[in-house]
Chains A and B, each alone.
Chain A
Amino acid sequence: AQKITQTQPGMFVQEKEAVTLDCTYDTSDPSYGLFWYKQPSSGEMIFLIYQGSYDQQNATEGRYSLNFQKARKSANLVISASQLGDSAMYFCAMSLTNTGNQFYFGTGTSLTVIP
C-alpha cells in the first residue's frame, strides 16, 4: 500500500509568490518522521525540512515551512517568496520506527518557477 501520496505531478508558481506542495501519508504507527527533499536537474537529493510525529509546532526552515495536520495525515510543504532556483522535483518522505526507520518516498512533484 502506498504510504506517501503526492497528488500533484507538476506545479507552476510565479516568482516571489508562495506555493504549497501536497503530501499525505498513511500509517498507524504513533512514532514517525516526515521529510521533504529537493532534487534539482543535477540529480542530488537536498534535505529541506523535518517534522516529527510528536512535534507540537509546525517545522520551519528559512523560506520552507511544513503544514503538519496530524488528524488529516497531511504534511504539506510551503515555499514562500519563490525563486527561480526553486525549480526542481520535490519529494515527501516518511520514516517509521516500527519498520526500523526505513524511508518511504512519494512520487514527487515537479515545481517550475516562472519569471
Chain B
Amino acid sequence: EADIYQTPRYLVIGTGKKITLECSQTMGHDKMYWYQQDPGMELHLIHYSYGVNSTEKGDLSSESTVSRIRTEHFPLTLESARPSHTSQYLCASSGTRDRWGTTEAFFGQGTRLTVV
C-alpha cells in the first residue's frame, strides 16, 4: 500500500483565490512529482523534485509553484486560481530500485480542483 497522501481530495474555489494542494509521503523517497490531468486524458508533468531544495518545472507550463523544504512534503501553490486551472492534480514519488533505476511512481489519490 502506497504511503503518499494528498489533501484535499476535492476543492471548489472562486477565481482569484490562493490555494495550496498538499502532498506528503512517508517512504523517504527523494524524487517527487506533480502531474496535471484532465478527465480521461494523458498526464502532464508540471513540477518535479530530486530532493530537498531541488525543484524543476516540467514539460507543461504551469502558473503554479512548488517547494521542497522537507523530504516528505511537496506542496503545490496557485497564487490566483482561474477557471483554466480546473483539473485533477496528481502527486507522486519514487525511490531507487537498484544502481541505475527507479521504483515505480507511487501516486496519491489526487485532488480534483474546480475554479468557478
Q: Do A and B bind each other?
A: yes
Partner-B contacts on A (CB < 8 A): 31-33, 35, 37, 43-45, 47, 50, 52, 89, 91, 93, 95, 97, 100-103, 105-108, 110
Quote the shortest CB–CB distance from A49 to chain B (angstroms).
Answer: 9
Partner-A contacts on B (CB < 8 A): 31, 33, 35, 40-43, 45, 48, 50, 88, 90, 92, 94, 97-98, 100-102, 104-107, 109-110, 112
Would you list 26 pairs from A and B whose C-beta atoms are within 8 A, ordered by A residue? A31-B100, A33-B97, A33-B101, A33-B102, A35-B105, A43-B112, A45-B92, A47-B104, A47-B105, A47-B107, A50-B104, A91-B43, A95-B101, A97-B100, A100-B50, A101-B94, A101-B101, A102-B45, A102-B48, A103-B45, A103-B94, A105-B42, A105-B43, A107-B41, A108-B41, A110-B40
The answer to whether B107 touches A44, judged by C-beta atoms less than 8 angstroms apart, is yes
Once the chains are docked, how many angstroms separate the CA of A45 from the CA of B42? 12
Question: Chain B residue with minimal CB distance to A98?
Answer: B100
Contacts of A43 in B (CB 8 A): 88, 109-110, 112
Once the chains are docked, how many angstroms separate the CA of A51 from the CA of B44? 22
A-B contacts besides A101-B94, A101-B102, 15 pairs, CB < 8 Å: A32-B101, A35-B105, A43-B88, A45-B92, A47-B107, A89-B40, A93-B105, A95-B94, A95-B102, A95-B105, A101-B101, A103-B45, A106-B42, A107-B42, A108-B40
